[in-house]
Amino acid sequence: MVVMARLPLIRSKYLPYHVTSRSNNQEWFYLPMEELWPLFLSALQIAQLTTDVEIHNFVLMSNHYHILLRTPLENLDQFQWEFARHFTKEVQKATNRVNHIFGGRYKWSMINDHRYFYQVYKYIYLNPVKARVVSEFAQYPYSSWRLKDDTPIDHPTLSDVMVEEFGRLETKQWIDQHYSADQTLSLKRGLRFREFKPAKVRNTRELPQINTPSP
């Protein structure tokens, strides 16, 4: 059996990354979401304080997460190590389990175009809508969108450049314009690349058209 070497991390002070990781065997994280959420936030906060990353947005699902962030110190690997270590420790402590929490190493994709940044930001928030957990993204309680509204505990500091640029109401209205199935699949496949780029779907000659927010 040939084992492929893991490709080296592309480091950047300025370009953002999308990162994601799934639970072991794609099972649930062994805890109800309302108990898992504060552990997730705590691990994010500790990792952020340790590594000085800038977190833009994130969402926690029952068996995976998505985070959009920048690394001014070019240390995505250190941030992910700190986050996974603390999150795993707290989940194991809460569940009395000793097995792995994550099924493998995290996956990352660098975002090298501001138009792509908008699409990945929106893609993250629409995850629970795509999974049919909620009909509107703002209803989902386990995302960074809801932090300022109803999270009574300490949480990571957000650098929400979308809201800063367009305003909270305008950003929400734009995200509420849901992606089509082809658009969602194009973005999902695009995030498999080390440098993100939308991918063609269903043998079409052209990429699905995806609008960017209006200033």
pLDDT digits (tens, 9 = 90+) for 131-162: 999 999 999 999 999 886 655 556 788 999 99
The H or E element spanning position 119 is helix 114-125
Residue 44 lies in a domain: yes
pLDDT reading at 6 higher than 70:
no
Give the residue-averaged pLDDT of 117-128. 96
Count, residues in the chain: 215
Give the residue-averaged pLDDT of 160-188. 91
pLDDT reading at 173 higher than 80:
yes
Q: Domain range for residue 159?
A: 17-190
Residue 163 lies in a domain: yes
Cβ atoms of 175 and 156 closer than 8 Å? no
Residue 180 lies in a domain: yes
Q: Which of 152, 153, 162 is nearest to 68 (CA)?
A: 162
Residue 215 lies in a domain: no
Q: In CATH, what number is assigned to the domain containing residue 73?
A: 3.30.70.1290
- To the nearest whole percent, how much of the chain has pLDDT over 70? 85
- To the nearest whole percent, how much of the chain has pLDDT over 90? 62
Model pLDDT, residue 203? 62
Average model confidence (pLDDT) across the chain? 87
Instruction: Give the pLDDT band of residue 60 (cuts 50, 70, 90).
Output: very high
Residue 207 lies in a domain: no
pTM for the predicted model, two decimal places: 0.91
Establish how many alpha carbons lie within 13 A of residue 151's alpha carbon, considering only the half-sphere containing its beta carbon.
Answer: 22
Instruction: State pLDDT tens for residues 80-109.
Output: 999 999 998 988 888 887 666 776 789 999
Domains contained in the chain, number: 1
Residue 130: Cβ-neighbour burial (10 angstroms; 0-12, 13-18, 19+): middle
Instruction: State pLDDT tens for residues 25-56.
Output: 556 677 889 999 999 999 999 999 999 999 99
Residue 114 lies in a domain: yes
Give the residue-averaged pLDDT of 188-206. 82
Residue 32 lies in a domain: yes
Residues 6+ apart with CB under 8 A from 94: 31, 35, 39
Q: Which of 114, 118, 111, 122 is nearest to 191 (CA)?
A: 111
Model pLDDT, residue 123? 96
Model pLDDT, residue 50? 95
SS3 (DSSP) at 124: helix
E strands, 71-151, in order? 107-110
Model pLDDT, residue 194? 94
